[in-house]
Amino acid sequence: MPTIVGKEVGPIGLGLMGLTRRANPISTDDGIQVLKTALDNGVNLWNGADFYGPPDNNSLTLLEKYFAKYPEDADKVVISIKGAAGPQDMTPDGSPDAVRASVDNCIKLLNGRKKIDLFQPDRIDPKTPLEVTLGVLDKEYVQTGKIGGIGLSEVKAATIREAAKYTKVASLRASLNVGKTDIFENGVAAATAELRIPLVAYSPMGRGFLTGQFKTLDDVPQNSLLRHFPRFQLDTFPINIQFAEQVAETAKRKGVSPAQFTLGWTIAKGNGSPVVIPIPGATTSERVVENSKKVDLTEAELAELDETLKKFETVGDRYPDFIPIEG
């Protein structure tokens, strides 16, 4: 089993964003049940953020309530928390004061129920030297035992190598799915493999695009944030859905769901170097159970999907302009 900050984690994790979403929020009780189902099915790497939801209902507030109800689970779970980003415009702020404010707030919201195993700046702040940002996290929080370790999110290969000079990088969070494989072309995956950093793959199902739940653009709720994403527009959706349909057909022949197939592909893509752990989101226990079943793909099945990838090209950027990304 892969390890993060010295703790074993399952081959598939859980992204917490949907559990405290601002639009059509689910109840706290339902969120707690999803978390319990995840752990019962071996999904013990949970990735959240202080900006996933409003100040009174975000990943940290939900986790505090969960561990208040199930205190015996605190040592069974590895929680990875993103922060140091503006709650409204997502502007990264890696200055010492901002980093301290973010981490201290996360610790406060957990109310002593659980130690943060991993904290990661959501993006790299171009205005603050990386050495400064990581220095605060390492010296003031890791070395004092307030958090377990430091991760990176959405960074270049050069940034990974630079960060490794200043601190032990416990994980890298990056976007990876069958429609987005650029980390294997731009050196990011190679850097994580070289430095033995586990790669935590978010959006492994293309924000639901590869699960089969969307057939037409009308299937995307009008108030969904996805409506703002370039790949979910009138001129891009019909093109992209053709690729999703091909993936679904391949999964059907395998006898598994599209979600299970794409998660299996994501794990296999790393082939152990780097270790790749997908963290699909889920808002129901049923979906968690489905996602938790690891599917092993044969070399022939992987080759078939590679051939499919050559025939289709995903259209549209993965993020709208108002969300900053380090390229």
174 in a structural domain: yes
Count of residues in the chain: 327
151 in a structural domain: yes
184 in a structural domain: yes
Q: What are the tokens at 66? A: 């969960």
126-138 mean pLDDT: 97
Amino acid at 155: V
Alpha helix (H) residue ranges in 138-187: 157-166
201 in a structural domain: yes
308 in a structural domain: no
316 phi-psi bin (left φ>0, alpha ψ -120 to 50, beta other): left
Number of domains the chain is built from: 1
90 in a structural domain: yes
Residue 135, domain extent: 3-213+256-299
Q: What pLDDT score was predicted for residue 205?
A: 82
Mean pLDDT of the chain: 88
Compute the distance between CA of residue 299 and CA of residue 30 in angstroms, rounded to an integer.
39
Q: Phi, psi at residue 127, to the nearest 5°?
A: -90, -10
209-227 mean pLDDT: 66
Whether 322 has a pLDDT exceeding 60, the answer reads no
22 in a structural domain: yes
Catalytic residue chosen out of the listed positions 52, 66, 141, 202: 52
28-45 mean pLDDT: 98
CA-to-CA separations, 111 to 107, 116, 193, 248, 260, in angstroms, rounded: 7, 11, 36, 43, 35
Most confident of 77-81, 86-90, 322-326: 77-81
The domain that holds 132 is classified in CATH as: 3.20.20.100
Strand 78-83 to strand 118-121: parallel, antiparallel, or no bridges (unpaired)? parallel
Peptide bond before residue 129 is cis, with ω within 30 degrees of 0: no
At 261-319, the pLDDT tens digits run 999 999 998 776 789 999 999 999 999 999 999 999 988 888 887 777 776 666 555 54
166 is known as an active-site residue = no
pTM: 0.88
Count the Cβ atoms, other than its own, within 10 Å of residue 73: 17
Q: What pLDDT score was predicted for residue 327?
A: 37
